[in-house]
Structure 1
């Protein structure tokens, strides 16, 4: 039993939010990756890029195409992607393995360039993690989880100032959740507190 309808007990006896219980792909992502700390530049650049592609679409679609994205964007190596040109954009727009949206593709290229440039000022990892809030959320239901926060608004502003695009406060909050900067696992979820960042 759980104290919220937003948690579902799986056949393995573990409690997960409804969004993570729908398919094997989402369940595996939730169980092994979502909310775990990402503290490498390449890892954060990948998550930032995938969040941009997800805008207006389902996260499951992005996950299904993740390996295709990795192949198309050189494993999300910022140095390589920063060197992509218009010819590369045209090739990406013909690639059925990814989400073919010119604005999002061009945003990833600009964000790669911004990631490389940011190294002179401490780097992407320090910038993202410097926006960790003083206190964590303790949501019992999905309704308790905001779509943005003062910290995500500040992060979006800082990223834009550093030359990043497609980085609004809602997307930044989703990124912060995904990479462990905040822990929005519901109380009662088997993943609550497993990141090592928060209790």
Structure 2
């Protein structure tokens, strides 16, 4: 499971789903997490995240393995409000071809939209960023307000903590609702927005 990061990555967009997936065990007696997690960045050097947190990516876009799931959190570079793309967008688009699911968290939808993968499909993003998103990407079918929207092999979440709801929904898709419930309990997560 790959988390696409770049400078300015939003900590909760990354850490909320990461914690959810790392706390998922396929069975009650399993010793290891059900998912292998790693980060992918344009460059392998340290990346400054929101609030000053420093991260060191596991892989660059040049050497990352093929993931089954791609998570796209918010990041600042290239500027989300611009149409400018870079190596991270090319990597997301290429990796998506063989991935089971590509998901964005919060305003990571801006970066995912730049790949063209959201064109013409229903999706969502942070409520406070919806007007800006609609202006920037009129070709995308923006749904305002839901915690998350699923459209085949693409899923998008609303703002910040909604990424945890989407991650739990992904767990329930991979396994079943009981595994997702156990994961939520392990995290002491009280939200129920991930349930049908």
Higher relative contact order (CA 8 A, sep 6+): 1
What TM-score results when the alignment is normalised by the length of structure 1? 0.28
Higher helix residue share = 1
What TM-score results when the alignment is normalised by the length of structure 2? 0.28
Higher strand residue share = 2
Larger Rg: 1
